[in-house]
Amino acid sequence: MELLEILLSASFWAAAIRIASPLIFATMGELICERAGVLNLGIEGIMVAGAFAGWIAVWAGLPLWGGVAVALLTGMAFGLVHSILSVPFGLSQHVVGVGITLLATSLTFYTYRVVLPEVSSPPKIEAFQAFEIPILSQIPIVGPAFFAQTPLTYAAFVVVIVTALVLYRTPLGLAVRAAGENPSAVAAQGLSVTAIRMGAVIVGSGLMAVGGAFLTMSAFDSFFFDMVNGRGWICIALVVFGAWKPGKALLGAILFAAFDAFQIRLQQTPVGAVVPYQVFLMMPYFLSILALVAMSRRAEVPAALMVPFNKGER
Amino acid sequence: MTGAEPVQTVLRLSNITKRFGSLTANDAVSFHLDRGEVVALLGENGAGKTTLMNILFGQYTADEGEVELFGQTLPPGNPRAALDAGVGMVHQHFTLAGNLTVWENIVLGAQPLAAMSLRPGEVKARIRDLSARFHLKVDPDARVGRLTVGERQRVEILKALYRDARILILDEPTAVLTPQETDALFSTLREAIGMGLSIIFISHKLHEVMAISDRVLVLRHGKLVAERPTAETNREELAALMVGAEVTMPEITPSTPGAPRLSLRAVSTEGEGDKPGLDAVTMDLCAGQITGLAGVSGNGQAALSDLLSGLRAPISGDMTVAGEPISGWTPRTAIGHGIARIPEDRHHTGTIADFTLAENAILETYGSDFSRRGWMDWARVRSHAEELIATYDIRCPGPDVRIRLLSGGNMQKLILGRVLEWGPEIILANQPVRGLDIGAVNYVHGRLAEARDAGAAVLLISEDLDEIMRLSDVIHVISEGRLSPPFARGTMKPEDLGAWMAGHGFEEAAHAS
C-alpha cells in the first residue's frame, strides 16, 4: 500500500526527474560520441570537471547561465584532447577514455586546491531555482513532477529533442551515424570522417560536462569531490539500454532515476527499518542490470564503434 | 552514339606518376575516356589500378602529371573535386552502412551538411525515378543490411547516378554476382552508355572485359603496357599482356573417383546470425575427386566449411568419415581424420600475422611433430620451414620473416604447403585463390589437382563460377543452406548453375527424391 502511495506522489516523480536530469545530458553526450563511432570513457572525469567549472565560475561572479557555458566549454576542451588522441591518432579508445577521466578528475581537484587553498568546506552559490511553467504546472501529479523543475532540467529535455532531430532529420546527423556504421562510406563521399568524429566527441563531451554542472548548480549549490559518484558509467550503460536511440535512452535515464528516488523513499518506510540501507542503495544498479539484460539483447551496436578509421587502409 | 556528334573526351589522364618510397605505383600513365565509351582497365593485383583511381578521386596526390575532367584540370588532392565534377565510383568493397536504409545511404554526402532537413520525400521520389529509368530495382526504405549483394551493388550505382554522375567507375563489379546478376548489370551499363555516360570498368576477368568494353588498357607494374580496341584482341593476348609472359593454365584432366571419404546424409546445422545453417544436406566427398561448391556468398558455405573443419557439429542427419560415424566432433578430431583446411580468410583465420613464417607453418602440427617431452624443437621447426619455402616456391627473406610482410600469393603458398605436406585425405579449400594474381592462381590450382590425383578428396568452395567449372569433377550449388544434387563435369552451363544459385530448382529436387 505504501509502495503505491510512493508511486502516485508528485514529489516522487519530481525527484525522479531531478535525479534523471544530469544523466540525460551526459547520456545524450555519450550517445552522440558513440553514434559517430567513438566510445568516450572520459565521461566520468568530464562530468567532474563540468561540475567544478560551472560552480566555480558562478562563485567567481558569472551569472548562472554563464556558469553553464563555462562547464560546456570545459567539457569541449577535454573532448578536443580525447578526439585528437582517439580519432586522427587512432589510439585505443579505452585507454584514451580512462586517461581523460583520470586527467580531468585530478586536474579538477588540483584547481580546487589552487583556487580555494584555505577553506575546509566548499562555498555555496545561488543555484538555479525551480521555475513553474504557467498552466502546465497546475496539472495534478504531472504538473509538479515535470513542469516545476529548474530551467536546466527543461534544457535537458530540449537537448534530447534536438539530438534526435539532428541525428535523424539532417544531413549532418546522417553523416554522424554513417561515420559510426561504415566510415569508408563517409570518406567515399569526400567527407572527412576525422572532422565528423572529432566534432561529435567535442559536442558530446560538452554535454557531459553540463550534466556534471547540473549537480553543483541545480541539484545542489556546492561542489564535493565525490559528487559525480559513478554517474558517468551509468550513462554508458544507459546508451546501451537505449539501443543508441535518444528517446529510448531518455526513458532509461528516467527509469534509473525513478529506481533511485524509490529506494530513498523506501528507506523511510517500516521495511527500511529492518533491511540494511545498503540493500536499497544497491537496488537501482541491480534493477538496471536486469533491465539492461532484458532490453539490449537485440540492440544494434554501431558497426564501427571503437574502430579507428585510417584513410587509405582497407 | 549518332554519327553526327563529334567525339568528346570526358576524362584525360596525362603522365600520371606516383611513387611510394622506392616503389613506383604509377609510372607515367596516360589515357583518355570518350563520351559513351566503356574502357576496361585490366591488370593484376598491385598493377596500380587502385592507385590510379585514388589519384583521380583525390585520395592521393600524383607526383607528376595531371587529370583533366570535361576539359577542366582537376585540383589535386581534393576528394570532392572528382565527385562534384560528375565522376561516380562503385567500389569493390561497397561503401554502404548496413544499419541505414537505402535512401539514407544514397543521400549521404549529397546534401550540404549545414542543411536543416534531409527532405526524405523528395529524395525517395528521385530514387524511384532513377531506378525506373535504369532498371535498378530496389526499395528505398529497405535497410541495406538486409539486401543481397546484387541489390547492394544497385544501391552503389544509384548513389552515383543520384549525384548526376557522367562517368562511372566500377571496380571489380562482378566479383560477387551470379551470372544472371552480371547480365543484368551489363544491360544497366549499356543503358547508361545510351544515355551518354562513360564507363571505366576495372577487372581481371577477361571474358567480361571482352563482353562489355570498347577499349582495353592493360596495366602492369604501374605502367600502361598496352591499349587495344576490344574488337581487335582476344583473351589469350590480354592474359599474356597482363602477366607479361605466356600464361599456361594447368591441365586439369578428368579423374576417376574412388570411394567416398566423407559422407553427409540429410545433415542440418544451426545458422549464425543472419547466415543460414545447413538444411538437410546430402553429399559425398570421394577420393581422387574435386567437388566444387558454387553459390552466392552467405548461403551456407560458411556453415558447411565450419562443419567439415570441426567448428560445428550436426544437429540432425548422419555424417560419416571414412565410413565411420563421427563422434565428439571438434577441430582436433577433424584434423585427426585427415581433414586439411585452406581457410577462407588467410589473414585472419589462416595465419597469425605477427608470428614468423616458421611458426605459422606448424600451427596445426606443433604438438605432435615439433616438440619433444613438451619442449619445442625449434631447429626442426626452422628446417621444416626452409623445406616448405623451397618446395612451394615461397618468395620471402627467410623462415624468420613475420607473415604479415608476405604478399597474398606467398601467404597462400605457405598455407598450401602446410596443408599438403602431411598428405591429407580430405582437403577443404575455401576461396583458395581469392585476391591472388594469375600466376599464383594457376599454381594453387595445379597443386590442388596434383593432390586430387594423389588420391585426396577435395572440396572447393568458391564464388567464382569459372574457377568452379574449370576445376571440379562434380559440382553442387548451395542456396540458403540447401544443396543441389551433384552435377558431373561438363553437364551444366553457367546459366543453369546461375538459376540454382538464385534458388531455383531446389523444391523440385526435394520432391523428386
Answer whether residue A310 is part of any domain: no
Query: Three-state SS for A143?
Result: helix
Distance between CA A129 and CA A152 in Å, rounded? 9
Interface of B with A in 86-105 (CB under 8 A): 89, 91, 93, 95-100, 104-105
Contact A186 B109 (CB under 8 A): yes
Residue A135 lies in a domain: no
> Does residue A97 fall inside a structural domain?
yes
Q: Is the distance from CB of A253 to CB of A40 less than 8 angstroms? A: no
Structural contact between residues B239 and B247, judged by C-beta atoms closer than 8 angstroms: yes
Q: Can you give the residue range of the structural domain that contains A188? A: 2-117+149-296
pLDDT of B386 reads 92
Does residue A124 form part of some domain? no
Distance CA A136, CA A148 (A): 9
* pLDDT averaged over every residue in chain A: 91
Cell of residue B155, nine digits: 544501391
Contact B45, B437 (CB under 8 A): yes
Instruction: Judge if ipTM > 0.90.
Output: no
Strand order from edge to edge, sheet including B316-321: B281-286, B260-268, B316-321, B324-325
The Cα–Cα gap between B113 and B110 comes to: 9
Q: pLDDT band for A41, please (50, 70, 90 cuts).
A: very high
pLDDT digits (tens, 9 = 90+) for A147-183: 989 999 999 999 999 999 999 999 999 999 999 999 9
Residue ranges and CATH numbers for the domains of chain B are: 9-243 (3.40.50.300), 260-338+424-512 (3.40.50.300), 353-417 (no CATH)
* 3-class SS of residue B508: helix
Min Cα separation B77/chain A (Å): 11
Quick one: which of A210, A186, A244, A280 has its CA closest to A50?
Answer: A210
Return the minimum-mean-pLDDT range out of A51-55, A107-111, B351-355. Answer: B351-355
Grid cell at residue B369: 611433430
Q: Which residues of B touch A190 (CB under 8 A)?
A: 58, 78-80, 83-84, 109
Asked, for residue A257, whether it belongs to a domain, the answer is yes
pLDDT at A248: 93
Mean pLDDT, each 10-residue run in order, chain B (513 residues): 64 91 87 94 83 85 91 86 89 86 93 89 94 90 86 92 92 80 90 93 87 93 92 89 79 85 93 83 94 89 91 92 88 89 82 88 80 86 91 86 82 89 90 81 91 94 88 94 93 90 85 71
Binning chain B into helix, strand and coil, the percentages to the nearest 5 are 35, 25, 40
CB of A101 within 8 A of CB of A232?
A: yes
Domain count across chain A: 1
Asked whether residue A312 is assigned to any structural domain, the reply reads: no
Can you tell me the mean pLDDT for A116-138? 89
Kindly state the greatest CA–CA separation across chain B: 85
Of the candidates A181, A188, A311, which has its C-beta nearest B99's C-beta?
A181
A108 domain residue, yes or no = yes
Domain assignment of residue A302, yes or no: no
Task: Say yes or no to pLDDT of A313 above 70.
Answer: no
Please give the torsion angle defined by the CA atoms of residues A161, B124, B136 and B85, in that order, rounded to the nearest 10 degrees: -90
Nearest CA distance, B386 vs chain A (angstrom): 32
CB atoms within 10 A of CB B349: 13
What local confidence, expressed as pLDDT, does residue A278 receive? 86
Query: Between residues A56 and A293, which one has the greater pLDDT?
Result: A56
CATH number at residue A190: 1.10.3470
Residues of A with CB under 8 A from a CB of B: 169-172, 174-175, 177-178, 181-182, 184-191, 300, 302-303, 311-312, 314
